[in-house]
């Protein structure tokens, strides 16, 4: 009986598969994204397909065979400049067997996968072409720039920031991460043609410009254009750039279009351990949201946020993150309404020893028509960036990293030290905090008008500066 039933079920599956193969999918459009080290082609399909990809050399080509597909678009609108692609051709080998040939000026390593429909897109076939020789002349921009180290231009808008200044006066490095990008548009705006990914990149670039204008600071963009970077690669890039702080820029969305206001997220080591474990297991299976595992929907925004935060948790220094987050939030609150007045904490455990303090800034609700318009305006982007920079600067003035220009200023009595603050994280006691800042427990108590040594997670403590001044 059981064998019979299984056989029948198997027969039904075959019939369904045959039906799917018979109804060929249309390739409705093709989109192209260029990243610093790869080119992504996305074929938009009317239904699922089977495919295979192989390379040919002399001349270099990539062949993509798509079975169960017909071409219902043209390739001539693709912007191929600055990519190793010199042309895209196609042939219908059988009524439902499409072959696409990509002509190349340099060899590439292809990687391909399919994606199931999400809110914005239907079925897709993604082909990533990784450069084998980054910086090869074939893929340099038309004008031959930036292959050799650049001499400083006469009067550059943003002064070129050079890496470590000798004598322990290095720049503090802020990694600025523009959320989403490329195939991942982020949240949708009611303003036509506006996506979260565009807003985040515009704000990130403005933030970089303002940070670079501050002596002793340098900003590094994690994403420099409209392309996708997997979550883990983002923190990896920040680490490689020697970041002292990681700031991820996003814009919020909610089903209720009236929702408004900015928020700042940091990590928490409170919260459900089992939830963390479940998320971790999921994340392991997923490998990345849309980086290649496929069949992962971007619909669940909370999941996206959770993913970013979970990845940050690999490196985050919790207390510093809360501290810098609170400062950024309070300055943002002067120029834009806040969604929540405190730094929000996601309930994930800090999984590794503290490394780079990290915050995630939701600059406003892009789903709110009024805020969407504001977020798109240059003046509001500048004001938002200014408030973030002010918070970041304040944090580093109070906590200058060793070897930095700010630390040098402080050690030479040239930095007006404001009151230092500490945001309590889980597991910390008043005695522990006093010890860390080398202040007397009684001084810490009186500076905060505490009647007992009971402190709460998230509470901001003033750290008296007296003891430090004695140190040479």
Distance of alpha carbon 41 from alpha carbon 127, whole angstroms: 5
Q: How far is the CB of 290 from Zn ion (least distance, A)?
A: 13
Evaluate whether 180 touches 223 at the Cβ level (below 8 Å). Answer: no
Q: How far is the CB of 423 from Zn ion (least distance, A)?
A: 24
Distance of alpha carbon 322 from alpha carbon 343, whole angstroms: 7
Distance of alpha carbon 299 from alpha carbon 279, whole angstroms: 16
User: Whose Cβ is closer to Zn ion: residue 186's or residue 364's?
Assistant: 186
How far is C-alpha 334 from the geometric centre of its chain's CA atoms? 25
End-to-end CA separation in angstroms for the chain: 86
Query: What is the DSSP track for 3-70?
Result: HHHHHHHHHHHHHHHHHHHHSPEEEEEEEEEE-SSEEEEEEEESS--EEEEEEETTTTEEEEEEETEE
Degrees to nearest 5, angle at CA 275 with 344 and 115: 90
Could you identify the residue written with the tokens 């619909």? Answer: 299
User: Whose Cβ is closer to Zn ion: residue 338's or residue 450's?
Assistant: 338
Q: How far is the CB of 289 from Zn ion (least distance, A)?
A: 11
Residue nearest to Zn ion (CB): 250
Q: How far is the CB of 200 from Zn ion (least distance, A)?
A: 7
Q: How far is the CB of 250 from Zn ion (least distance, A)?
A: 3
| SS3 of residue 154 by DSSP | coil
Evaluate whether 248 touches 234 at the Cβ level (below 8 Å). Answer: yes
Q: How far is the CB of 141 from Zn ion (least distance, A)?
A: 29
User: Whose Cβ is closer to Zn ion: residue 177's or residue 220's?
Assistant: 177
User: Whose Cβ is closer to Zn ion: residue 66's or residue 304's?
Assistant: 304
Can you give 305-359 as a three-state secondary structure string? HHHHHHHHCCCCCHHHHHHHHHHHHHHHCCCCCECCCCCEEEECCCCCCCCCCEE
Distance of alpha carbon 285 from alpha carbon 293, whole angstroms: 8
Positions in the binding site for Zn ion (CB under 5 A): 179, 186, 250
User: Whose Cβ is closer to Zn ion: residue 41's or residue 201's?
Assistant: 201
| SS3 of residue 297 by DSSP | coil
Q: How far is the CB of 197 from Zn ion (least distance, A)?
A: 8
Closest-CA residue to 227 (of 341, 82, 357): 82
User: Whose Cβ is closer to Zn ion: residue 76's or residue 302's?
Assistant: 302
Q: How far is the CB of 224 from Zn ion (least distance, A)?
A: 18
Q: How far is the CB of 186 from Zn ion (least distance, A)?
A: 5
User: Whose Cβ is closer to Zn ion: residue 100's or residue 290's?
Assistant: 290
- Tokens representing 148? 């050799």
Evaluate whether 113 touches 294 at the Cβ level (below 8 Å). Answer: yes
User: Whose Cβ is closer to Zn ion: residue 186's or residue 216's?
Assistant: 186
394-401 contacts at long range (C-beta below 8 A, 24 or more positions apart): 394/327, 394/331, 394/418, 395/245, 395/320, 395/323, 395/324, 395/327, 396/172, 396/217, 396/244, 396/245, 399/320, 399/323, 400/172, 401/172, 401/244
Distance of alpha carbon 422 from alpha carbon 411, whole angstroms: 21
Distance of alpha carbon 448 from alpha carbon 455, whole angstroms: 11
Distance of alpha carbon 70 from alpha carbon 26, whole angstroms: 5
User: Whose Cβ is closer to Zn ion: residue 250's or residue 393's?
Assistant: 250
Q: How far is the CB of 249 from Zn ion (least distance, A)?
A: 8
């Amino acid at each position: 009986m059981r064998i019979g039933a299984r056989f029948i079920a198997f027969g039904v599956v075959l019939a369904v598969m045959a039906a799917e193969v018979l109804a060929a999918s249309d390739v409705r459009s093709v989109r192209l994204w260029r990243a610093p080290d790869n080119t992504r082609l996305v074929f938009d399909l009317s239904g699922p397909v089977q495919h295979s990809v192989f390379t040919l050399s002399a001349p270099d080509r990539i062949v993509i065979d798509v079975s169960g597909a017909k071409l219902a678009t043209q390739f001539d609108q693709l912007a191929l400049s600055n990519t190793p692609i010199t042309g895209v051709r196609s042939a219908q080998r059988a009524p439902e067997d499409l072959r696409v040939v990509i002509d190349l000026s340099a060899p590439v390593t292809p990687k391909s996968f399919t994606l199931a429909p999400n809110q914005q897109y239907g079925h897709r076939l993604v082909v990533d072409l990784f450069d084998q020789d980054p910086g090869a002349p074939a893929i340099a921009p038309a004008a031959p720039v930036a292959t050799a180290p650049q001499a400083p231009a006469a009067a550059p808008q943003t002064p070129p920031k050079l890496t470590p200044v000798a004598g322990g006066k290095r720049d503090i490095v802020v990694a600025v991460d523009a959320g989403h990008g490329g195939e991942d548009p982020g949240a949708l705006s009611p303003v036509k043609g506006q996506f979260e990914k565009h807003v985040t990149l515009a704000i990130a670039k403005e933030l970089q410009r303002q940070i670079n204008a501050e002596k002793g600071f340098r900003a590094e963009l994690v994403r420099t254009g409209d392309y996708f970077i997997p979550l883990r690669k983002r923190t990896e890039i920040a680490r490689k750039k020697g970041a002292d702080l990681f700031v991820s820029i996003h814009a919020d969305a909610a089903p209720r279009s009236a929702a408004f206001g900015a928020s700042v997220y940091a990590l928490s080591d409170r919260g459900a351990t089992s939830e963390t474990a479940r998320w971790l297991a999921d994340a392991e299976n997923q490998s990345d949201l849309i980086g290649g595992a496929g069949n992962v929907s971007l619909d669940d925004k909370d999941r996206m946020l959770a993913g970013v935060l979970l990845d940050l948790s690999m490196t985050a220094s919790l207390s510093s993150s809360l501290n810098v987050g609170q400062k950024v939030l309070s300055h943002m609150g002067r120029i834009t309404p806040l969604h929540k007045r405190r730094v929000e904490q996601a309930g994930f455990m800090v999984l590794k020893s503290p490394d780079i303090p990290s915050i995630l800034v939701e600059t406003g609700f892009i789903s709110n028509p009024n805020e969407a318009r504001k977020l798109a305006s240059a003046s509001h982007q500048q004001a938002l960036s200014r408030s973030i920079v002010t918070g970041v600067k304040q944090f580093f003035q109070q906590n200058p990293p060793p070897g930095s220009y700010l630390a040098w200023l402080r050690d030479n009595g040239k930095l007006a030290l404001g009151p230092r603050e500490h945001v309590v994280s889980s597991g910390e006691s008043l005695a522990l905090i006093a010890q860390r800042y080398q202040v007397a427990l009684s001084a810490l108590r009186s500076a905060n008008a505490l009647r007992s040594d009971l402190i709460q997670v998230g509470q901001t403590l003033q750290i008296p500066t007296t003891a430090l001044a004695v140190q040479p």
